Structure 1
């Protein structure tokens, strides 16, 4: 193991289904020093089913619940999230995302946020995907 590899740690919370990450060769999170890089979270339930098919509000909440599982598994909380990027199949759903963010990010310093319109996500049932970065220092 090189010095670089020893400073990185894969974060794979038990609350998230292992198969999508294993089958697509990624980690749900990678901690590199005090920085946690969080993969794009979608509406997977713990059993691998898609939560809220056709319901953007349910999918946003599940994606953020999954993000929280990654952050907590790395030793942090949602208050440690410093940046997010949200990919939406329909950018008209941005107000739904903003409402969910107001419930999930309640600290004095809100994470940065970028919204990107996407023609499609990893599965046709997904309406939203949210990736992030947390500082765990």
Structure 2
């Protein structure tokens, strides 16, 4: 049986995950499932309140931290799902994806418009799957 390993990077705040009972990532075999990343800094402060560009950048940094903690790189991401409270912000996400996903094969991408995220200050959340190694 393949074992699972929790991926909890030190640069992401432990308290939100502990309080709401989840892992930032779960590595099972070579597949890394990444929880929806939001714009938290390492102290659980919300980065870029009201600023979609700042939030997307922080989310991408957090997503990268999870992949790297699992032993991979951002190019190992194979699929993403982006949740936006305003789908008009999708071009901002696309621009960030173009900066961060530069590998030969780009990850799949689904955008979902939502009424709200876990906190009203969050404008974007990105969930991903990566294949490590």
Q: Same fold (TM over 0.5)?
A: yes
CA distance in 1, matches of 2:57, 2:45: 15
Q: Secondary structure at the match of 2:110?
A: strand
Partner of 2:102: 106
Gaps of 5+ in 2: none
CA distance in 2, matches of 1:43, 1:136: 24
Partner of 1:59: 55
Count of residues in correspondence between the two structures = 133
CA distance in 1, matches of 2:112, 2:120: 17
Partner of 1:81: 77
> How far does the alpha carbon of each residue in 1:75-110 deviate from its partner, in whole angstroms, 9 at most, with x for none?
000000000000000000000000000000001100
List structure 1 runs of 4+ shifted beyond 3 angstroms.
Answer: none
- Check if 1:136 corresponds to 2:132: yes
Q: Secondary structure at the match of 2:34?
A: strand
Partner of 1:97: 93
Question: What TM-score, normalized by structure 1, do the two folds share?
Answer: 0.96
